Amino acid sequence: MKTKKQYNRLLFIFIPTVMIFLTVFVWGLGLFTDIEEEPYVSGETDRIVVGVSQLGSESGWRTANTESVQSVFTNENGYFLLFSNARQKQENQIKAIRSFISQRVDYIVFAPVVENGWRTVLQEAKEAGIPVIMMDRKVEAADQELCVSWVGTDSRQEGVKAGRWLEGHLRDKGVTGEETVNIVVLTGTEGASSAIGRSEGFREVARDHANWKILEEKCADFTSAKGKEVMEGFLRKYPEIDVVVSQNDDMTFGAIEAIQEAGRTVGVHGEISIISFDAVHDALEMVAAGTINVDIECNPNQGGYLSQVISMLEKGQEVEKDYYVEEDVFTIDNVTEEVLRERNY
């Protein structure tokens, strides 16, 4: 027979154990489904219901892109937003899109993490009569006919801009076509249209310069931690690096840390020139300080364009296949106090 004291002790152990188990279980469910949605009951609102599948939250840029979408698709603006974060996994995006279809949303907006593998689910959306709009990145060319429109940035052109900047920079430094320029490239998520476009655009310019030697291109997933790791590897492998092309600011932050920890210098007065992409606030501060040589802007403010496309579709108007957001190129010469003040991401 157990005494009252023994029962109390058992309860003391049992209740917290069950509570810990339940917490881990519920958290685990969230982890495996990777979908965060507001509750929504089909047909219960006269607002425009938009299902947004964001690919993740890997960078400062992505956070700004999410905020841009969430600030536009609000109740006050006549929308009901179902938002899902896929945490970099295509399977989670497919799951989210299927869930939007079964909830019979009015529109689906999604930022495809990679280009390939969307045909089946896009076909399902089409059969359900739900227009799909891509944002930021694109699906492969053959599947774009299954989407009504796209809002985003011209990543190939961004790569070209990086190459053109390097041409001018080397010219200004008096580097002749006889001198080898050693370049390493940190690329974004493998298979992502923005990474593919930036690589292609930069290579297009590099092809005209026999003295530009791309030592290696390596994926660092658009994250700071990976950027640092990949850059450390480059520094061990290649003693002479003149230029780092880093396909987003987060990877650049990591890469610069690695370079400085290795005792090397970067930027306008340093040994290694840094070319970055995105132009988020912290990176622009580094441009102003001469740490990053150039930042090719990738504009995350796409929510306004998306809502314009939807309101045109609501009125039965024709929409363009592609809408490009505006983008600039930043160097120490044009990052003014005003630019920094206005950059809120």
Q: Which residues bind ligand AHR (CB under 6 A)?
A: 58-59, 61-62, 136-137, 188, 194, 222, 248, 277-278, 298
Tell me whether residue 59 or residue 273 sits nearer to ligand AHR (CB atom).
59
Tell me whether residue 197 or residue 267 sits nearer to ligand AHR (CB atom).
197
Q: How far is the CB of 281 from ligand AHR (least distance, A)?
A: 13
Name residue 282's amino acid: D
Tell me whether residue 61 or residue 118 sits nearer to ligand AHR (CB atom).
61
Determine contact, residues 153/178, Cβ cutoff 8 Å.
no
Name residue 268's amino acid: V
Determine contact, residues 134/110, Cβ cutoff 8 Å.
yes
Tell me whether residue 169 or residue 226 sits nearer to ligand AHR (CB atom).
226
Q: How far is the CB of 120 from ligand AHR (least distance, A)?
A: 23
Q: How far is the CB of 197 from ligand AHR (least distance, A)?
A: 9
- d(C-alpha 249, C-alpha 14), whole Å: 49
What is the Cα 220 distance to its own chain's centre?
12
Determine contact, residues 225/254, Cβ cutoff 8 Å.
yes
Instruction: Please spell the DSSP secondary structure of 169-221, one letter per residue.
Output: HHHHTT--TTS-EEEEEEE-STT-HHHHHHHHHHHHHHTT-TTEEEEEEEE-T
Q: How far is the CB of 34 from ligand AHR (least distance, A)?
A: 17
Tell me whether residue 149 or residue 194 sits nearer to ligand AHR (CB atom).
194
- d(C-alpha 292, C-alpha 257), whole Å: 12
Q: How far is the CB of 187 from ligand AHR (least distance, A)?
A: 11
For residue 244, what are the β-bridge partners?
A: 184, 274
Tell me whether residue 62 or residue 161 sits nearer to ligand AHR (CB atom).
62
Q: How far is the CB of 295 from ligand AHR (least distance, A)?
A: 11
Report the candidate in 184, 183, 34 with the shortest Cα–Cα distance to residue 113. 34
Tell me whether residue 221 or residue 242 sits nearer to ligand AHR (CB atom).
221
- d(C-alpha 141, C-alpha 268), whole Å: 39
Q: How far is the CB of 128 from ligand AHR (least distance, A)?
A: 27
Tell me whether residue 48 or residue 151 sits nearer to ligand AHR (CB atom).
151
- d(C-alpha 332, C-alpha 268), whole Å: 9
| Strand 329-330 relative to strand 294-297, pairing | antiparallel
Q: How far is the CB of 310 from ligand AHR (least distance, A)?
A: 21
- d(C-alpha 221, C-alpha 238), whole Å: 21
Residue 289 per-residue DSSP state = T
